[in-house]
Amino acid sequence: MLLFAPFWMNAIGGYTELATRIVVMGLAAMSLNFLLGFTGVLSFGHAAYFGLGAYGTAMAIKYWGIGSIPAIVLGVIIATIAAMIIGALIIKLRGVYFAMVTIAFGQVFYFIAFRWNAVTGGDDGLTGWRRLPINFGFAELDIVQNDRAFYYFALAIFAVCVAAMAVLLNSPFGRSLIAIRENERRARFLGVPIEFHVWLSFVISCLFVSAAGGLYALLNNFIDPRALRVDLSGNLVIMAVLGGMRSFWGPLIGAAIFVALQDYVSSHTENWMSVIGLVFVLVVRFFPRGVLGMLRTGAKA
């Protein structure tokens, strides 16, 4: 279905860029869910790593003129290093306190991007660069002009990241993460090094979310501090919950619904913030297990 999205999106009133945005946000929400749904640890500051990936990618292209793929790799490396350091600081905390510290740390990078005008463009964002075509040696993929080509480029990166996460979750490491989610104390008694596993899960989750961030920067040919702000962190969490955080593909569905809704609402009313806020309230009150969670219970009954 995703493979042909650019074709049927137009038929139902969407457009290719919207499909790309869904793929990008879907990757971000699925990466967050690696930590939230499969390790049972709530991070409310993932926008920081999303934004670091995005800024890293954008700055690499603007200042060094390197290709789109190396730029994303650089953005991912920067964000992952930041996640390793911050992860080490917060790993001893759990539950609400973990969430609170991730919220607070998320803001650091926002303020840096906001204040450091000379390098990041400050509040106005980083402009004056565009994504570059990808040269395979034998052929060149023109993702600059051709929206569909860029969609498939994003989809390819999405596929690689998602496959990597699936492999990790099915490995013994992934099984111990689920054990931690189900019962941390029991996992500890079974000899699982909890702190290290949670840290590693946090870092992996941030790594993939920063890849999504890099794609996001390329998609817009622009990046501003809002990509780092807590709003986005909250939106990613609600996407995961809305789709169903206990299932692997749930967050993608959540992202599709949320992004499409945001796109529709923001073009139809000025008070889109209230509508989005209402979505949060309704999801929590009536669909706490998400779309896929509901479907699954329905199938059983």
Partner 1 sequence: MSQVVLFNVFNGLIVGAFYALMALGLSLILNLSGVINFAHGGFLALGAYLAYTLIPYVGFWGALILAPPLTAVLGLVVEWLLIRPLYGKDPLYSLLLTFGLAYIFEDMTRLIWGAQSVPFQVPGWLMTSLSNQYFFLTGYRVFMMIIVAAAVGGLFAVLKYTRLGMRIRAGTRDLDTVSTLGVNVRVLRSLNFGIGIYMAGLAGVLAAGLLGLSPTIGANLIMPSFVAIIVGGLGSLLGTLLGGLMIGVASGLAAVYFPSATEAVIYVMMALVLLVRPRGLLGEEGRLH
The Cα-based distances of 117 to 63, 124, 231 in angstroms read 15, 9, 22
Residue 111 interacts with partner 1 (CB under 8 A): yes or no: yes
90 within 8 A of 102, measured Cβ to Cβ: yes
Virtual torsion, Cα 71, 239, 82, 228, nearest 10 deg: 80
Residue 186 interacts with partner 1 (CB under 8 A): yes or no: no
Scan for tokens 């040696």, then name that residue.
Answer: 137
CA 204/CA 168 separation, integer angstroms: 10
Binding mask 195-224 toward partner 1 (x if CB under 8 A, else -) reads: ------------------------------
Kindly state the smallest distance separating residue 265's Cβ from partner 1, in Å: 12
Q: Which of 94, 226, 246, 296 binds partner 1 (CB under 8 A)?
A: 94
Residue 194 interacts with partner 1 (CB under 8 A): yes or no: no
| Amino acid in the structure at residue 15 | Y
CA 106/CA 51 separation, integer angstroms: 10
CA 161/CA 208 separation, integer angstroms: 7
Return the residues of window 245-274 that contact partner 1 according to CB under 8 A: 271, 273-274
Residue 81 interacts with partner 1 (CB under 8 A): yes or no: no
Residue 97 interacts with partner 1 (CB under 8 A): yes or no: yes
Residue 241 interacts with partner 1 (CB under 8 A): yes or no: yes
Residue 168 interacts with partner 1 (CB under 8 A): yes or no: no
Report the SS3 class of residue 43.
Answer: coil
Q: How far apart are the first and last CA of the chain?
A: 28
Kindly state the smallest distance separating residue 184's Cβ from partner 1, in Å: 8
Contacts of 88 by beta carbon, 8 Å cutoff, 6+ apart: 199
CA 196/CA 215 separation, integer angstroms: 29
15 versus 116: smaller Cβ distance to partner 1: 116
Binding mask 125-144 toward partner 1 (x if CB under 8 A, else -) reads: --------------------
Q: Which of 67, 234, 248, 261 binds partner 1 (CB under 8 A)?
A: 234
Residues recorded for the chain: 301
Q: Which of 77, 103, 134, 265 binds partner 1 (CB under 8 A)?
A: 103
Pairing mode of beta strands 134-135, 140-141: antiparallel
Q: Which of 283, 290, 291, 293 binds partner 1 (CB under 8 A)?
A: 283
Residue 278 interacts with partner 1 (CB under 8 A): yes or no: yes
Residue 116 interacts with partner 1 (CB under 8 A): yes or no: yes
45 versus 75: smaller Cβ distance to partner 1: 45
Kindly state the smallest distance separating residue 29's Cβ from partner 1, in Å: 14
CA 139/CA 19 separation, integer angstroms: 25
Q: Which of 107, 220, 262, 266 binds partner 1 (CB under 8 A)?
A: 107
Q: Which of 78, 101, 228, 256 binds partner 1 (CB under 8 A)?
A: 101
23 within 8 A of 151, measured Cβ to Cβ: yes
62 within 8 A of 174, measured Cβ to Cβ: no
Residues of this chain that bind partner 1 (CB under 8 A): 36, 42, 44, 86, 89-90, 92-97, 99-101, 103-105, 107-108, 111-112, 115-116, 230, 234, 237-238, 241, 271, 273-274, 276-281, 283-285, 288
